[in-house]
Chains A and B, each alone.
Chain A
């Protein structure tokens, strides 16, 4: 029998099929957001013993029902909040904090370990504003940690954390973790929310 060449498959409609699938996936795609601000809630058990905190070590941030911001009993715009928080945290009033670059004002916080930011909001506050304030306060901490990490290890804190999470990072993770912990001890994130 004579050998016949296999007839060529007509691929003309392949593009149509691919388009059909493409349009299906285009329509169903939602690029999910999976990033946000991590927070830890305080545990429920009531510790009745009240810890006495000096008034000067508390930075009160109050958000009212009209989304206005009251910081340390003064009206403030959101854009000034980060700077005010940095100044408060980095004050180092009692001189025990040798890495603080603040004004060393005796009327403001003693050291970053004692400084507490207290955030209070009302039921009518909108979520958007609340997140914006949270974001600015976290940014203040990150700013301080970044400068400190840069001075100590020549790398910002955010970069260090990104490296730590990156599975392909070639360096020594145990050492990096120690460095991160060191920065966290020097600038602990003490943000309390009033219920």
Chain B
């Protein structure tokens, strides 16, 4: 019977980690594909509201982003009132016209009618600011807008 008790030399065998790189690579590729590098550094709080009747924005390159919200904790010196952010800096309502013009100039002419303005506004902001933004957008004839929201039910979110 000596044939069968060869493996008696004891100890737990080491776990085989040869497949570890494969697993890590798999995760790595997932995150590489899913990553979208942020275009703008946000200087405001941007906790989007929830809605469930949402439509997807299809053409990413035809979207102009306007952010609004109260300055985040690093920018306390700008006060606690909700502010607009265009590109990388705080802006005033009257800067929107110039921003839209610049965005339009950077696109091909035939694409201009398809440009959409996405409003990424913090859920705590008040409608006065949004009303001003909308009025300004109407003035420059940028009429397609999208209120960017997170997907979820609107109820029970207080």
Chain A interface residues toward B at CB < 8 A? 11, 14-15, 18-19, 21-22, 25-26, 28-44, 63, 78-79, 121-128, 130-132, 134-136, 138-139, 142, 165, 195
Contacts and interface: CB of A to CB of B under 8 A. Distances in A.
Contact of A37 (B21, B37, B146): B146
Nearest to B130: A127
A39 B55 CA distance: 11
Interface string B116-158: 1010011111111011001101110111111111110011010
B124 A41 contact: no
B127 A41 contact: no
B130 A130 contact: yes
Interface in B1-57: 17, 20-21, 24-25, 27-28, 31-32, 34-38, 48-57
A165 to B, nearest CB: 7
B131 A195 contact: yes
Interface string B53-64: 111111010010
Interface of B: 17, 20-21, 24-25, 27-28, 31-32, 34-38, 48-58, 60, 63, 116, 118, 121-128, 130-131, 134-135, 137-139, 141-151, 154-155, 157
Contacts of A29: 31, 34-36
Contact of B149 (A15, A37, A40, A142): A37
B141 to A, nearest CB: 7
B149 A125 contact: no
Given A40-B143, A126-B127, A131-B51, A33 B149 contact: yes
B54 A36 contact: yes
A181 to B, nearest CB: 17
